[in-house]
Amino acid sequence: MTNWGRVYYTNLLSCLPVAIMVFAFGEQDVILARDGAHSWSFHAVAALLVSCLAGIAMSYSAFLLRALVSATSFTVVGIMCKIATVVINCLIWDKHATPMGLVALSICLAAGSAYKQAPYRS
């Protein structure tokens, strides 16, 4: 299966559970703007499309990376990418991890940066 095939397949598989949740929680009125309180402005549609494109790009790059490295390396890279999220959270919002939590996260990130692939057995 090609990389794009994996991206399409996984995103297609997520459509059915999302559709079920939309109807289970009554979100169809919001999506169709039938409740009068919500409407689809240009900015809302643009944000939705940018979010969809970012998700597809992330999915594509994740499958591409997974094909190039081991599962453990892929997991370490994924965890190390969380540092940007934590930094943005600390800079923007006041509800984030405690100082002790940030120290624990720093230890985990240091351990992740020290990781190296085990040599192959001969």
Q: Confidence class of residue 44 from pLDDT cuts 50, 70 and 90? A: confident
pLDDT over 70 at 46, yes or no: yes
CA dihedral 27, 33, 38, 43 (to 10 degrees): 100
In this structure, the answer to whether residues 61 and 94 fall within a common structural domain is: no
The three-state secondary structure class of 44 is: helix
* Residue 7, Cβ density class (10 Å: 0-12 exposed, 13-18 middle, ≥19 buried): buried
Backbone phi, then psi, for 36, in 5-degree steps? Answer: 80, -20
- pTM, rounded to two decimals: 0.66
Number of domains in the chain: 2
First vs last C-alpha separation in the chain: 30
CA distance 64 to 2: 10
In this structure, the answer to whether residues 75 and 64 fall within a common structural domain is: no
pLDDT over 90 at 39, yes or no: no
Domain interval for residue 38 = 1-68
CA distance 36 to 48: 20
